[in-house]
Amino acid sequence: MASLPRFARTTVVTALLCAVFLTLGTPAALAHDRLKSSSPDRGAKVAALERIKLVFTTRVRFPAVALREAGGTTVDLGKPKVDGDTVTSGVPETLASGKYVIAWRVVSTDGHPIEGEIPFTVTAPATPSATAEPTPEPAPAAESTPAPESSAPGTPAPETSATTAPPTPAPGLVSATDDRESDGQGLPGWTWIALLALVVVGTGVWFRVSRRDEPGGAE
């Protein structure tokens, strides 16, 4: 009869260890990959942009990268390339000054798609506007012998003032959108059911063993 309590205690300890393992191990297994760094960085100000670079915490697949201006116009990019945990995409055209947003999407190692956006600003130097050269004033005419009747004085030629082209208005602002990486956390329903069943079974076995160990307990 002594072997039964030992077996029951072993069962209870095993059930508790399984519950702890499921509680601590499942969130780590369900965690998805995420963006580690980017070039340009989020909220950065750059004078020019020739390439977009995204680095993730682990290997990714099937990358998609898009670049939008402040007004929502999409800028044509080169086909994105993936090398392990790094995704790159070339920017073939020169970007004008203004606000931009990089939208990206990849598939993580567990097959779950993750995506996000990276806002940044281009601060390219403004091109100086051309100014009109002033028209030279005519040379003064030589004095002539006064005539009996005075002639009407000539009207002086108007001076041409230099005009400057009006400055180009700065492009409109765009609101930055936070990264929306889907990180699905939490335990699935079957895990909670298994934990509850283990606790119920362990409690019942422990109660039964305690009754048997008491003096005068049921044999």
pLDDT digits (tens, 9 = 90+) for 52-104: 999 999 999 999 999 999 888 999 998 999 999 999 999 999 999 999 999 99
pLDDT of residue 58: 94
- Could you tell me the pTM of the whole model? 0.48
pLDDT, tens digit (0-9, with 9 covering 90-100), for 155-190: 555 554 444 455 554 444 434 344 444 444 555 677
First CA to last CA distance, the chain = 8
Where do the structural domains in the chain lie, given as residue ranges? 1-21+184-209, 33-124+174-183
Sign of CA dihedral 108, 112, 113, 117: negative
Number of other residues whose CB lies within 10 A of the CB of residue 134: 11
Sign, CA torsion 77/78/81/85: negative
| In CATH, 33-124+174-183 is 3.20.20.210 | no
Q: What is d(CA 213, CA 219) in angstroms, rounded to the nearest whole number?
A: 9
